[in-house]
Amino acid sequence: MKNNQPTTKIIAGKYRGKVLELPSLDVTRSSKSRLKESLFNVLQFDIIDKIFIESFAGSGSIGLEAVSRDAKRAYFVELDRSSYKILTKNCKAVDSNKCQTTLGDTFVQTPKIIESLKNSSDELIVYIDPPFDYRDGMEEIYEKSFDLVRGIENDNIYLVIVEHVSSLEMPEILGKFSLDKTKKFGKSSLSYYSYIKE
């Protein structure tokens, strides 16, 4: 049997070139390298010493890229067991001391992680990448993701970034956050939300 395990590489930073395994493409959609490159071009040095939270983590390739570029720590939440297995393997390959993985429902676990960091002096970057294809029961996934952001009470959030299907109309305001910009990459887009200063 041929091993056609899909892989990706870390683009830059101290783990540049390290190969990460990707879960089966039926389960998860890997963030395209052009999108990932653009994301980190936007963040640049702002990633340093921030805490990065990746919801719907899949292989963890975004959060591990953040770790490679000197994020202080990364938290990953993934529901699918086989994807989670690959995620933990990738974290071990990069730097397991800087990674905390949670197997479970993003809508339950991500708010808990954010809440637990509420009094931290560290700034957080929250990356939300809901599954793309509207499989059965997926129709509400964006609305639930918006509610997740609306529910954030922390004032130590540096940015909330949502990866989404380009045809989606993104809200201007989500709770305490307002839309700064959206960048399109074919079918996928990234929308950046920052904290509304009182």
Say yes or no to pLDDT of 4 above 90: no
Q: Can you say whether the dihedral through the CA atoms of 89, 102, 145, 191 is positive or negative? A: negative
Name residues whose C-beta falls within 8 Å of residue 73's C-beta, 6 or more positions apart in sequence: 51, 52, 67, 98, 99, 100, 122
Q: CATH no. for residue 159?
A: 3.40.50.150
Say yes or no to pLDDT of 35 above 80: yes
Is residue 149 within 8 A of residue 159, CB to CB? The reply is: no
The candidate with the shortest Cα–Cα distance to 185, out of 34, 28, 16, is 34
Both tokens assigned to 38: 């653009």
CA angle 9, 10, 13 (to 5 degrees): 155
Is residue 76 domain-resident?
yes
Give the pLDDT confidence score for residue 6 in this predicted structure.
Answer: 86
Say yes or no to pLDDT of 79 above 80: yes
Say yes or no to pLDDT of 138 above 80: no
Is residue 134 domain-resident?
yes
H or E segment to which residue 180 belongs: strand 177-185
Question: Whole domain around residue 161: which residue ranges?
Answer: 7-195
Q: Which amino acid is at 94?
A: V
Q: What number is the average pLDDT over the span 138-163?
A: 92
Give the pLDDT confidence score for residue 1 in this predicted structure.
Answer: 42
Give the pLDDT confidence score for residue 33 in this predicted structure.
Answer: 79
Phi and psi, residue 52, nearest 5°: -110, 125
Is residue 155 domain-resident?
yes
SS3 call for 28: coil
21 has which bridge partners?
Answer: 7
* Choice between 186 and 149, residue whose per-residue pLDDT is larger: 149
SS3 call for 194: strand
Give the pLDDT confidence score for residue 113 in this predicted structure.
Answer: 98
Is residue 10 within 8 A of residue 94, CB to CB? The reply is: yes
Is residue 1 domain-resident?
no
Give the pLDDT confidence score for residue 117 in this predicted structure.
Answer: 98
Confidence at 2, pLDDT banded by 50, 70, 90: very low
d(CA 89, CA 50): 23
Q: What number is the average pLDDT over the span 89-110?
A: 97
Say yes or no to pLDDT of 192 above 50: yes
Both tokens assigned to 109: 């676990």
Is residue 2 domain-resident?
no
Considering its fold, how many domains does the chain have in total?
1
Give the pLDDT confidence score for residue 139 in this predicted structure.
Answer: 61
Give the pLDDT confidence score for residue 24 in this predicted structure.
Answer: 73
